[in-house]
Structure 1
Amino acid sequence: MGDKEVTGESDITALLSSAPYDQWILIHSSGWCPPARYKHAAEVVQEKLYVVGGSRNGRYLSDIQVFDLRTFKWSTLSPKLEPKSSNLENITSEETFPASAGHSLVKWENKLLVVAGYSKEPLDTVTVWSIDLETHYYSVVPTNGKIPTARGGQSVTLVGSKLIMFGGEDRRRKLLNDLHILDLKTMTWDILEAKKIYPAPRFDHIAAVHADQYLLIFGGSSHSTCFNDLHLLDLHSMEWSRPETQGTYVTPRGGHAGATVDESWYIVGGGDNQSGATDTIVLNTSKFVWSVATSVKQRDPLASEGLTLCSTTIDGEKLLIAFGGYNGKYNNEVFVLKHKPRDSIRPRLLQSPAAAAAAASVTAAYAVITATDDKNIYTTTIKSNIKGAQAERSPEVVAVDTHAISAEKKMLESRLVEVRDENSRLQASLDEMNNSHTELLKELKSVQGQLAAESARCMKLEAQIAVMQNRLEALRSIEHELEVLRHQKSQMEQDMAAAQRKPSGGVWQWMTSSAQNFEE
């Protein structure tokens, strides 16, 4: 969370004068606040943040809340059904604005367009709702052509007078990676066919457009994992590609939010089903360089899934507005970040060739230090070129604004300090990773030693088992011989018993036999 808080008694002027660049600031409303939520949609129109729908405790919301960025006060917009809207019979039976979540919100002319999203009604195709900000009427926008399958968690990007929709999840939980385009002038849908490898099917990703020609897709979720890949679609050649990026490593995430300011694509929040993303990251869309603008603590509302992020300009300052999300609890806080200009004021072009060369040299030096961390190139380039320009210029044609160059130099030196600090932080992270790698190697060797010992023990046990099996076979042979002997013994005992049962004459026969022998 930012290190400053602005209460409802303050105003936007006080915020802009005291807020640091690239730091999130929590704004407290002095009055009523709307229910906390996530998977809503938001857009800034005329210094007011419009929040439409969302989800809370498994229930879709239908309210439209408005936060005044001047007074820091909330109000509720209750649009009425447009009297001419007879085409709502098959869409909803309610008179209030229909409840939805996972939808997209786009400002078009004096209206807000709500595109797609999950709803209680079992719709087969994508519905487009219109909220008139002047009359406060809402209606379904009749569309024709190849209308896409109903879905939620898609990305919808405004390019000129057309909306480009990518991906999402249909009501049967099938993940999508198709491309559709809606012409807002004719309200006609069509399918976009692109060449080369499409991004994997996903939902809860984000999209942005660069130079009105390139559609960027980042991150998102499947049913089993989250992504951190960046895809680019050339809207002229209709070819997908995977641009190589530089800078900070970006963790996988889904349910994050993004908004562009000039060539900076700010991305906040999201998570990987285990923890929320705490870094507010920035992609330079012309150089494809990732960096970290600021960070918050775990469990901070800004480290949530399903939050929204909008960009606007107030009193000449470019601001980012974040709202809502879920990180174990539902949130309804409003955060503001003041965008730090990436390009400082350049000195005016000089009329003499020497002076023009000096200005060009300063510009080139700035580009070098912004694109790389090579401090030696920066120092040598800036000093040598300024000295060369000073040697060539003549007093009557010199129009160099020395104060601007000094300010430029100070800014670049400040940038150099930031780069050194970043290098130190990265070196510390690298050292920590190396230490972890060393410890893991030690653990691996220990486990390998244990496995070798266990393998030797297993071999010894197998040898003992073989000996025991041989002994067991010998025992079985002895048992067989013993069984034969038992059988022979039993047969002998039977023979002896039979012999004893034969008649013998007894004692009288013996006495008679003895007397006869005496007489003879």
Structure 2
Amino acid sequence: MHDPTMAVEGDKMVNGRYNLNALLSELHYDDWTLLHSFGRRPLARYKHAIAVAQDKLFVIGGSRNGRYFSDVHVFNLRSLTWSLLNPRIDAENIGLENSTSKEVFPTIAGHSLVEWENKLLVIAGHSKEKSDSVIVWSIDLKTLVFSILKTQGKIPVARAGQSVTIVGSKLIMFGGEDEKRQLLNDLHILDLITMTWDVVETKNVPPSPRFDHTATEYAGRYLFIFGGSTQSLCLSDLHVLDLQNMEWSQPDVQGVAVTPRGGHAGATVGDMWYIVGGGNTTRGATETIVLNMSKLAWSDATMVTTQHPLASEGLSLSTISVDEESLLIAFGGYNGRYSNQLFVLRPKPRLPTKPKLYQSPAAAAAAASVTAAYAFATSTGTKDNDPVDENLKKEQVTRHPEAESFATEMLAVEEKNLGSKLADVRRENAKVEGNLEDVRNRQSLLAMELKAVQSQLEAERSRCFKLEIQISDIQKRLDSMVSIERELDILRQERSNMEQDMARVQRQSSGGLLRWMTG
């Protein structure tokens, strides 16, 4: 994790600030890294929406403690600087000619945000301005004017927590929760050319009603729906809609088991669909999971702690491009605390695969029949001049260049992967060598300290030995002092006896003289 206050040489700084391109080489694969930024960050929030356009990350709306936001923030991906966008209102278009409202943008949460032809489209969501049907707002990135796009057709009922996915010139909206908190599982398509809504009738069993789920498209033909919430529980199911025949399926998925979650965020890098955050009834999801859409296999990319800002619901995730490499960027969320931090992840490069066709049961049975017939024909043999065999040979010849191209592409990607791994290994080796040098230096210092301590210990031992000799000598002196004390006591006693004798003699002498004087 980088400190923006430290001095950086070379191209790591742009106008005195960090350059995301220069930081790319220092990001570890499949590992979330806090991205330091400059400028005034947006207030912490969740159930907002983000989108990337023109090397900028746009953050619109959201909620905090029941309050809806109407602000539009921009994060410059080149200078890593936050700024506040003030789009102008097209008052005539939205019927506010005489309005005195000073709001920059309508308060909104639980909405969706996508880029379309140099415009940001804000779709649905709960707002202070009540509406019976879905509203599509537009922010023109050239003029910075926002307005309501006039749509027609079968306009969906107002909702929030829906998923919105762009496939070609079509905007596909699924599910959500209406103003009466009724869960939905309807499918609507907005033609962005004619701005016409249509309700889509699908085949087979659709996903159950839900909101706060995620969706993405694959190969321009399939719509994936994952997870989400109901009023009482969270989901972990995966559904696929074939957009050609409008058939739903719930395919078998391999790999790790995924935990149920709602309020999570998703973004794709190639064939890989990354799912971050979300929560269930007890905690936030700590695993960043990845679905290989070509193989239908789940795996864990990385994991954070339960208190990490990414183990949150209502966060947003998007893909950015740095030096022709895709990174994931996440913002906001709530897990007991609201967040306004940015995190980036550098996905591990993976080999490209051909798009997989997800067949309905009937189509799968037909394909199995064709395969069985072909196997039977092959087992019975064909002549060299058999037209079927000739066609097969031509097909093989036709596919050969494609196979070579695909193999070349795989080798190029593998070479890039190996180069990246080699660079990582070299960086790790450099770190290890630096750590070893530090250990050697510390070991040398410790050896010197140990030698000094040993010298001190020897000095203390010599001093203790001298003290023991002195103590022994003092003890002997004390013993001799005891005998001296005894002799002194005897002498004192003898002196006392002598003094008593002398006193008695004096008294006797004094008495005789007195008697003579008085006689």
Fold conserved (TM > 0.5)?
A: yes
Distance (whole Å) between structure 2 residues aligned to residue 409 and residue 208 of structure 1: 26
Query: Displacement, 1:6?
Result: 5.4
Whether 1:68 and 2:76 are equivalent positions in the alignment is yes
How many correspondences in the alignment?
Answer: 364
3-state SS, counterpart of residue 62 of structure 1: coil
* TM-score for both structures, normalised by structure 1: 0.66
Q: Within 5 Å, give how 1:79-90 maps onto structure 2.
A: 79-87=87-95
Q: Using the alignment, how far apart are the partners of 1:92 and 1:39 within structure 2?
A: 28
Partner of 2:49: 41
Counterpart CA distance in 2 for 1:156 and 1:177 is: 13
**For 1:441-520, what aligned pairs fall within 5 Å after superposition?**
none
Whether the aligned pair in 2 keeps the contact of 1:194 and 1:240 (CA below 8 Å) is: yes
One-letter amino acid matched to 1:34: P
CA distance in 2, matches of 1:256, 1:205: 7
Q: Distance in 2 between matches of 1:144 and 1:308?
A: 29
How big is the shift at 1:18?
Answer: 1.2
Q: Which amino acid aligns with 1:17?
A: S
**Alignment partner, residue 157 of structure 1:** 165
Which structure 2 residues correspond to residues 249-328 of structure 1 after superposition, within 5 A? Answer: 249-328=257-336
One-letter code of the match for 1:23? D
Contact 1:317 1:339 in 2 (8 A): no
Unaligned runs of at least 5 residues, structure 1: 346-352, 368-400, 415-520
Residue 110 (str. 1) matches residue 118 (str. 2): yes
Structure 2 equivalent of residue 97 of structure 1: 105
Q: Give 1:85 deviation, angstroms.
A: 1.4
Counterpart in 2 of 1:216?
Answer: 224
3-state DSSP class of the match of 1:260? strand
* Structure 1 residues 409 and 277: CA distance shift in structure 2, 3 A: closer
Deviation by residue 1:117-158 (Cα, 9 ceiling, x = unmatched): 001122100000000111110000111110000000000000
Q: 1:343 aligns with which of 337, 351, 359?
A: 351
Are the aligned partners of 2:265 and 2:275 in contact in 1 as well (CA < 8 Å)? Answer: yes
Q: 1:7 matched to which residue of 2?
A: 4
For 2:100 and 2:309, locate their aligned partners in 1 and report how far apart those are by CA, in whole Å: 33
User: CA separation in 1, counterparts of 2:419 and 2:22?
Assistant: 25
Cα distance change, pair 161–326 in 1 and its aligned pair in 2 (3 A): same
Q: Choose the corresponding residue for 1:52, options 57, 60, 71.
A: 60
> What is the alpha-carbon distance in structure 2 between the residues aligned to residue 92 and residue 270 of structure 1?
39
Q: Secondary structure at the match of 2:215?
A: strand
1:21 aligned onto 2:18: no
Identity %: 59
Structural mapping, 1:364-513, within 5 Å:
none
Q: How big is the shift at 1:106?
A: 0.8
User: How far apart are residue 101 of structure 1 and its match?
Assistant: 0.2
Q: Counterpart amino acid of 1:283?
A: L
Q: Distance in 1 between matches of 2:414 and 2:51?
A: 40
- 2:213·2:226 contact (CA, 8 Å) conserved in 1? yes
Provide closer, same or farther for how the CA distance between residues 201 and 19 of structure 1 changes in structure 2, counting only shifts above 3 A: same
1:154, 1:133 → 2: CA distance? 24
- Residues 58, 201 of structure 1: CA spacing in aligned structure 2 closer, same or farther, 3 A cutoff? same
State whether residues 125 and 159 of structure 2, in contact with CA within 8 Å, keep that contact through their aligned partners in structure 1: yes
SS in structure 1 of the partner of residue 202 of structure 2: coil
1:77 is matched with 85
Query: TM-score w.r.t. structure 2 length?
Result: 0.66
Aligned partner of 1:130 among 124, 138, 141: 138
Q: Give the alignment partner of residue 225 of structure 1, picking from 233, 239, 243.
A: 233
Q: Counterparts of 1:275 and 1:406 in 2: how far apart (Å)?
A: 39
* Cα distance in 2 between the residues matched to 1:115 and 1:30: 29
Superposition deviation, residue 10 in structure 1:
2.1
Look up the equivalent residue of 1:76 and give its one-letter code.
L
Counterparts of 1:108 and 1:283 in 2: how far apart (Å)?
26
Q: Measure, in 1, the Cα distance between the counterparts of 2:252 and 2:280.
A: 23
Q: Distance in 2 between matches of 1:90 and 1:290?
A: 54
Aligned-partner Cα distance in 1 for 2:415–2:175: 47
- 1:71 is displaced (CA, Å) by 1.1
Aligned-residue offset at 1:27: 1.0
* Alignment match, 1:180: 188
Amino acid at match of 2:143: T
Asked if 1:145 corresponds to 2:142, the answer is no
The offset of 1:48, in angstroms, is 0.8
When the two chains are superposed, the root-mean-square deviation of aligned CA atoms in Å is 3.0
| Contact 1:344–1:408 (8 Å) recurs in 2 | no
TM-superposed CA distance for 1:408, in Å, is 9.1
Give 1:31 shift: 2.9
8 Å CA contact 1:47, 1:314 repeated in 2? no
Query: How many angstroms apart in 1 are the aligned matches of 2:215 and 2:252?
Result: 17
Q: In structure 2, how many angstroms separate the alpha carbons of the residues matched to 1:121 and 1:290?
A: 41
- Offset at 1:326? 0.3
Letter in 2 for 1:7: P
- TM-superposed CA distance for 1:34, in Å, is 1.2
